[in-house]
Amino acid sequence: MKTFELLEKHYSISQEQIDFYCKNRYIKLKNVLDFDTIQYFNKVISKKVGEMNKDETPLEQRSTYGKAFLQLFNLWTQDASIKKLIFSERIAKIASDLMQVDGVRLYHDQALFKEAGGGITPWHADQHYWPLETDKTITAWIPLQETPLEMGPLEFSAGSHRLLNGRDLSISDESESLIQKRLKVTDFKHIIEPFDVGEVSFHSGWVFHRAGANSTNDMRKVMTIIYMDKNMKLVKPSNTGQQNDWETWCPGVKVGEIINSPLNPKLY
């Protein structure tokens, strides 16, 4: 199938792009996927999210986190077609090239669907939740449609991986308020831009990011793939979120071991 063929074709990354990522710890790349591929996975992933989502709580009755998005995990274990996207060598090689490592493993995937009228995703750093030894982590954020500012695309604080304050905060009203205040007194540039169809962003585990509300009448559909260095080791969890991640996404792995469980295959 033509859609699946593209997923294995390598995407050329320049040294300039690698340098940009190393400095800012985020990058947006155009034409990673084409229109037909995005259309195909929009339908397949939307169907699976509809089947897996069990939360029927009205939007207005949810917490800030709950209003931010519908969040479903490890869809690759539920659907063979979605597995083709998650296991894409094209995307995994980009992740490996940007991090300048010899290969990557899957940490896990997430569908992040921000409903019409859905709220903000507060400022946070992903790796707060991850019991991982190094910062060699990266998330591919793949919109399944054109994503204008009104739909709530991902926003970045460029270079903010160097900021230690705020790393201990979970996604919440508190993280939005406190991190925003800290970022305002720094020189980190706030990047807020729309995404074209096929455009994919990559960001590191410690760079601070957020997303605006979805003020449109349409669902903002995004699939994410979280990668880590293929030699990543598990560290002792420092919070309840990391403990949960150890048990959920790294089953059977012991502290100090390379994370090579059945849920963490090498992808490149």
Note down pLDDT in tens along the chain; length 268 residues. 677 999 999 999 999 999 999 999 999 999 999 999 999 999 999 999 999 998 777 767 777 666 557 999 999 999 999 999 999 999 999 999 999 999 999 999 999 999 999 999 999 999 999 999 999 999 999 999 999 999 999 999 999 999 988 888 888 888 899 899 989 879 899 999 999 999 999 999 999 999 999 999 999 999 999 999 999 999 999 999 999 999 999 999 999 999 999 999 999 9
Domain annotation covers residue 12: yes
Domain annotation covers residue 235: no
Q: Which domain holds residue 163?
A: 2-230
201 beta partners: 28, 141
Domain annotation covers residue 241: no
CATH code, 60: 2.60.120.620
Joined tokens for residue 114: 């921000």
The whole-number pLDDT of residue 56 equals: 73
Domain annotation covers residue 43: yes
Domains in the chain: how many in total? 1
3-state secondary structure 86-133: HCCHHHHHHHHHHHCCCCEEEEEEEEEEECCCCCCEEEECHHHHCCEC
CA angle (91 as vertex; 87, 92 as ends), nearest 5 = 65
The whole-number pLDDT of residue 184 equals: 85
The whole-number pLDDT of residue 65 equals: 62
Domain annotation covers residue 128: yes
CA distance 92 to 94: 5
Please, what is the end-to-end C-alpha distance for the chain in angstroms?
Answer: 21
CA angle (260 as vertex; 225, 44 as ends), nearest 5 = 30
> For the sheet containing 190-192, what is the strand order?
121-124, 209-211, 154-157, 190-192
The reported pTM is 0.94
The whole-number pLDDT of residue 44 equals: 98
Domain annotation covers residue 245: no
Domain annotation covers residue 74: yes
Domain annotation covers residue 259: no
